[in-house]
Amino acid sequence: MQYFLIILFFILVLFLVVWPVQWAARMMKARNTGFWMCLLALVAATVLHGLGLLAPAAGSIVAFLLSAAGFAAILGTDYLRGIGIAILHFIFSAMILALLSLVFGISLAGLMAGL
C-alpha cells in the first residue's frame, strides 16, 4: 500500500509539472502538445536554463532565452512562440503553486524559504 501511494504521489507531481507546459503549448498553437513531448521539452528547457545560468554576464537573461529555444525546438513552434510558452509556463506554474498553497494551507513564504 505504501508503494502505491508513493507511485501515485509521483504521478500527481509529474502531471502538475507538465500540465502548465501543455496549456502554454496549446495557447501558442505548437505542433507537439502531448504529455511526453511536453515533458521532454520541460527537461530540455531545464537543462538549457541551467547552462544559461553559467554565463558570467546577464546569466538569467541568457538562461531564459535558451529555455525558450528548447521549448520552441521540441514543441514545434517558432522562437517567439517559444518565448510565449516560457512566460505562460511560469505564470501557470505560479498560479498552481498559489492555489495549492491556499488549498493545503501552506505558507508561500515557507515554500520560498526552502528554495
Residue type, 42: L
The torsion angle over the Cα atoms of residues 88, 94, 32 and 34, rounded to 10 degrees, is -150
pLDDT of residue 56: 84
Confirm whether pTM is higher than 0.85: no
d(C-alpha 38, C-alpha 19), whole Å: 8
d(CA 28, CA 56): 31
Contact 53, 38 (CB under 8 A): no
User: What is the average per-residue pLDDT within 20-30?
Assistant: 92
Name which of 19, 49, 14 is nearest 33 in CA terms.
19
Q: How confident is the model at residue 77 (pLDDT cuts 50, 70, 90)?
A: very high
Longest dimension (CA), the chain: 50
Range of lowest pLDDT (36-40, 77-81, 102-106): 102-106
